[in-house]
Structure 1
Amino acid sequence: MGVEKNIVTDTISGLFEAQSGGPKYRALSAALRQGIAGKQLGNGTQLPPVRDLAWRLGMTPGTVARAYTMLTDEGLLVAEVGRGTFVSGAPEPRPPLYISLPQEATPEGAEMVSLFTARLPDLGQLALIREGFQRIASQDGRELLDYPSALSFAPARQAVVDWLAGVPLGGLHHEDVVLSHGAQSGISLVMQAVLRGRRPVVLVEELAYPGFRRAAELMRAEIVSVPMDEHGIVPSALADLARRHEAQLLCTSPELHNPTVTITPQERRREIAAVARSCGFDILEDDSTFLGESRAESYRALLPEQGWYVSSISKTLTPALRIGFAVAPQRSRTALRRVAENGFFGLARPLADLTRDLLTREETREIVRSVRNRNAVYVRSTVNALGGFDLSWHEDSPFVWLQLPAGWRAAAFCLAAEQQGVQVRPAEDFAPRNGFAPHAVRIGMNAQVAMADFEAALARLRQLLDNPPEQILV
């Protein structure tokens, strides 16, 4: 019997060593799948105990247990109490993941084409979410009788850490992560953890995601806008305002600025980080809109003691589940967790379990790639239609930024567009109440609209742009 166990361990070890890089649990699960598919690990084969295999492969027992659990959920392994884990054989072939084809027509009755914000097409998310809930429903449900705890959320937090493996966040442990109800909830949690005093000051870009201001207002904070140029926040202006107002927090989106599609380059980020270090304020980076791979170090990596990071799955999978995550500097992770626990105990346990399930599946990454590619198709269509105007865009951005030609004001243009059956968002929605807003609009990539209808809406916008109003109002 001992010889047989050694053979199985050697087989798994050889398969594991042949895997490419990436998280160890994913490499081990891939090795086991390969061994089962190739019959090296036949039906009924008993796998090594978790601790034994962990020692042999040089990883933690928790990593091995996670790989075993993943394959058990997939039906490839079966765990028997008191006996161990066994190969159950290949499961019944699953139907291919449903990927919807582009719509040929928008549903009847949809007279208005909303480009107010981005909307995702169904590229397999619905099927994946339904399957995820089914898998969760089939598990032992005794935890549903208990309050959630930091320990019970550990698998979901680790799934987030692995999901963010490609983002340069510096040293990252799952205890640095707090699950939130979308990125907006994460922003509020960070502000609660950072801001102090009766009237703290929060810095935002002169045009900024409105959620920054709304969260700051809930914290009774004073909001100060910082000038920008073509590379993002102007460091000299930032330093002056931070010192003058004794600012405690800067909220920014350097990877993809909302709404202007500005990308802050690495050198500018270093300059901004140096200002924060000198003036003593923290930086909250919202990275919930960019669909591509990270291009530069995050502020959390540049400022290990002052950098916070927030993101979600709303722009890549679905906004309906309200799954987001906030990442604290390691020295502040207790403060962030305390804010969440004191505020709402934590996510509902089924939602946390679904987060772990979705973020650890290869199909999810496939869907994200499909969403990214489909979004690029809509961006290219927009550039083809409106590229002759002052248009800022990126294929991995879910919106474009259009500076209106002479003769148009943003409010008048939005009204005229709506009369033509197209909704777009004016620049003033991103400006402070008493601040300056350029005559510009943000156009969202609504991939739920059939391409033919999307292009027709763009043609109507172009017709308006080509024919600004001639009358002078007095």
Structure 2
Amino acid sequence: MGTMWSADLGAKSGPKYRRVAETIRGAIDAGTLSVGTKLPPVRELAYQLSITPGTVARAYSVLTDEGILVAEVGRGTFVAEKMTALQDDVWSRQLHIQEERDPKHVSLFSPRIADMGQVAAIREAMHKIADCDPHKLLNYPTRDGYAPVRTAVAKWLSKAPIGPVRERDIVLTHGGQNGLMITMQACLRGPSPVVMVEDLAYAGFRRAADMLRTNVVGVAMDEHGIRPDILELMIRKTGATVLCTSPEVHNPTGLFTPLERRLEIVEVARRHNVQLIEDDCYRLGQAQAPSYRSLAPELGWYVTSLSKLLTPSLRAGFVVAPEGGVNILRRAAEYSFFGLAQPMAELIRILLTDPRMPQLMDDVRTEMARYVRVAVNALGGFDINWSPDVPFIWLRLPAGWRAGPFTRAAEAEGIQIRSADEFALRDGRAPHAVRIAVNAHVSIRKFEDAMVRLRGLLDNPPEQISG
């Protein structure tokens, strides 16, 4: 139902959009605007207040983000029910960052993790930073000054099977990709260094190597990951000194490299003194096998981040150096960017020491797994790799579909996915497959609808290829 409410900004001070939001809050608190009341359209209220429609739209957006208002596509903006803090978290999880401009559009390019309370936790942490020691807001960062942050990271990593970790073994980076870049800088040696990656691999490996003017070669895989015999062959053939790999969650296939295979890879690496850079940024659950840093303490470099368990927006990454490697790693970081901004480092420390964080991260895992199950229920009749603790699905396309045409057909349906071609080396061959990432920024109903539309495409290929 509509409302005859008449807004008046009165003598309030501050930016106009805040004055509008404050006026609406006051009307709700006073009972003038009751639960379920429809607010005036943006242009109507703007005309009434003699302000721009953009100012009103911004005020409505602020109140919607706070859960005070609710916007329903095609119907308007309404006063939301009053909620407890717990209910408010649920409301935020369901409605934040929804892509309602085009109801059919869903981006499944990269994982978008659910908000299970981390937005509120980050906001609280930012308020604490605003009241921190002013020296942290005025001085250059120092190694000693970051010791409490590294200690918090070491405690967070204590359950990962990566071997003993002291705070001084850790270097803070601007996300996992930056971690890979500075680790390569620390590892690479010789006038024409060569980096090895899986035949299908995270494109960030290749891009980091390209930026460092390094040659990149692919190593063949099977269902257990990198083939040790091909690894040895490529080392002998190219003189490669670094291997970048993701044994826990291979991106893009989701494959896992078991312990027996890892030990074989370590044996080859030791024979040729090859550095092992392990990217562990995609794992949401417990590790299934010891890391290369644990199996080969003198060769293993471990890279991870908070992007898939907390938020990618903070660009919080960590590298754990092998024995004797931390000094050169620190130099690579310090010579590149002097260290993280002190307020950002302090934000990481506050979040990782927040007693709510373990449960919050578990809640993120659980919610992401719920989306994965929806995808598997819709696409389980096809050839897929999946795990509840991996925020994407690898789909091998049925006869009649090739990766390029399928991704274009999906995009015509408003669904963006990644072709296997994006993970292949420039001169490599990619299978007819796609990676479908979980997007928990849309409702699970909308995500399920996208999966059903993909299934419809898979069931109706443009051609049948026999043989």
TM-score range (shorter-chain normalised) is 0.7 to 0.9
In structure 1, C-alpha distance between the alignment counterparts of 2:125 and 2:86, rounded to whole Å = 15
The CA deviation string for residues 331-361 of structure 1, in whole angstroms up to 9 with x for no partner, is 0100000111111110000011111111111
Partner of 1:109: 101
SS in 2 for 1:277: helix
In structure 1, C-alpha distance between the alignment counterparts of 2:95 and 2:153, rounded to whole Å = 36
Matched AA of 1:421 = G
Residue 144 of structure 1, CA deviation: 2.1
Matched AA of 1:453 = K
TM-score (norm 2): 0.79
Partner of 2:309: 316
Distance 1:103 1:96, change over 3 A: closer
Partner of 1:59: none
Taking the TM superposition and a 5 Å limit, the aligned residue runs for 1:24-423 are 99-101=89-91, 103=94, 106-110=98-102, 111-423=104-416
The CA deviation string for residues 7-51 of structure 1, in whole angstroms up to 9 with x for no partner, is xxxxxxxxxxxxxxxxxxxxxxxxxxxxxxxxxxxxxxxxxxxxx
Work out whether residues 290 and 397 of structure 1, in 8 Å CA contact, stay in contact via their aligned partners in 2. yes
SS in 1 for 2:434: strand
> What root-mean-square deviation, in Å, do the aligned CA atoms of Structure 1 and Structure 2 show?
1.6
* Alignment gaps of 5+ in structure 2: 1-83
In structure 1, C-alpha distance between the alignment counterparts of 2:323 and 2:348, rounded to whole Å = 22
The CA deviation string for residues 403-452 of structure 1, in whole angstroms up to 9 with x for no partner, is 00001000000001111111111000000011000000000000111111
SS in 2 for 1:297: coil
In structure 1, C-alpha distance between the alignment counterparts of 2:139 and 2:463, rounded to whole Å = 67
Work out whether residues 98 and 123 of structure 1, in 8 Å CA contact, stay in contact via their aligned partners in 2. no
- Paired residue for 1:437, among 430, 442, 466? 430
Work out whether residues 256 and 289 of structure 1, in 8 Å CA contact, stay in contact via their aligned partners in 2. yes
Matched AA of 1:340 = A
The CA deviation string for residues 248-292 of structure 1, in whole angstroms up to 9 with x for no partner, is 100000010000010011111111111100111000000000100
The CA deviation string for residues 198-243 of structure 1, in whole angstroms up to 9 with x for no partner, is 3200000000000000000111111010000000000111011112
Residue 98 of structure 1, CA deviation: 5.4
SS in 2 for 1:285: strand
The CA deviation string for residues 156-203 of structure 1, in whole angstroms up to 9 with x for no partner, is 011110010111111211111100000000000100001022320000
Distance 1:104 1:135, change over 3 A: closer
Work out whether residues 166 and 294 of structure 1, in 8 Å CA contact, stay in contact via their aligned partners in 2. no
* Alignment gaps of 5+ in structure 1: 1-93
Matched AA of 1:99 = D
Residue 143 of structure 1, CA deviation: 2.9
Distance 1:453 1:239, change over 3 A: same
Matched AA of 2:321 = A
In structure 1, C-alpha distance between the alignment counterparts of 2:393 and 2:136, rounded to whole Å = 45
Work out whether residues 158 and 165 of structure 2, in 8 Å CA contact, stay in contact via their aligned partners in 1. no
Distance 1:471 1:284, change over 3 A: closer
Work out whether residues 399 and 464 of structure 2, in 8 Å CA contact, stay in contact via their aligned partners in 1. no
Distance 1:176 1:104, change over 3 A: closer
In structure 1, C-alpha distance between the alignment counterparts of 2:248 and 2:272, rounded to whole Å = 23
Partner of 2:419: 426
In structure 2, C-alpha distance between the alignment counterparts of 1:471 and 1:104, rounded to whole Å = 41
Work out whether residues 394 and 435 of structure 2, in 8 Å CA contact, stay in contact via their aligned partners in 1. yes
Partner of 1:69: none
Matched AA of 1:345 = F
Work out whether residues 98 and 127 of structure 1, in 8 Å CA contact, stay in contact via their aligned partners in 2. no
Distance 1:107 1:279, change over 3 A: closer
TM-score (norm 1): 0.78
Number of aligned positions between the proteins: 379
The CA deviation string for residues 381-419 of structure 1, in whole angstroms up to 9 with x for no partner, is 111100000011000000000000001000000001111
In structure 1, C-alpha distance between the alignment counterparts of 2:165 and 2:323, rounded to whole Å = 8
Distance 1:202 1:378, change over 3 A: same
Matched AA of 2:90 = S
In structure 2, C-alpha distance between the alignment counterparts of 1:417 and 1:156, rounded to whole Å = 43
